[in-house]
Amino acid sequence: MILILEVNQVGYEIQIPSRFARQLSQDESENLQIFTHLQIREEQPILYGFATSSERELFRQLISVSGIGAQLAIALIDTLGLEELIQAIVTGNIRKLSKTPGVGQKTAERIALELKTKLSQWRQLVGITLPSSSAIPSLEIIEDIEMTLLALGYTNEEINQAIYTLSQDNQMLKNTHTEEWIREAIAWLSRN
C-alpha cells in the first residue's frame, strides 16, 4: 500500500504494510508518526513506513536474510504481525512462517536459522514479551482452527487475531476440545 506524505509541498511516496494502512484509516488524529526505512534500489530511493520503531527494526532484520527482499519482509509483517512473527522465528515455527505468500519451507527455515538468536536477544532488549508456550493452544488445535476457518472464508490475519485473543483467556487455555476453540473463534470473529 502506498501512502503519500506531503511536506512543504513535496509529496513522498511511502510503502506501508496493509495492516498499518488499516490502522491509519481508523485513526482520526491529524498528527501521524511514521518510522521510515530508506532503500536505494537501482538508483531509485524507496521509502518504507512502519507504525513502530520495532516493526521497522524487524523489517531491517528480515531484509538482512539472504533471499528476503523488502516486499517479502512487508508480507511477513502484514500476515503475522510483530509479536506473532517474532514468536514464529524465535520458536522455529516453519509452518507458521510458510503461511505467508511467497515464503516456502526452505525460505522459512533460512529466516528462522539466521534470525532466531538475533531476535531472541533483540526482543528482550526492547521489551517485547511473547506468550509462554503454555499461553497458546497446542499446534494440533491451532492447525484445526486455521483449516476450518480458512475453509469458511476467513483470512489468516483474522484467524491469527482470533486465536491470539482467545489464548488470553485462561479458561480457554485449559480447554483441549478443538470444536470448542473453533466455536469460540467463530463467535469472536462474528463480534469483531
pLDDT tens for 39-97 read 988 888 999 999 888 899 999 999 999 999 999 999 999 998 888 898 888 888 888 89
Residue at which a domain ends, from 87, 102, 126: 126
119-168 residue pLDDT tens? 877 776 766 665 554 456 666 787 788 889 989 999 877 887 788 788 77
The reply to whether 101 and 16 lie within a common domain is yes
Shared domain check, 115 and 187: no
Pair 188, 108: CB distance under 8 Å: no
Residues 34, 92 share a domain: yes
Same domain? 102 vs 138: no
On whether both 150 and 97 belong to a single domain, the answer is: no
Residues 118 and 152 in one domain: no
* 62 and 144 co-located in one domain: no
pTM for the full model? 0.66
Is the domain of 75 the same as that of 10? yes
- Domain residue limits at 43: 2-126
Together in a domain, 117 and 26: yes
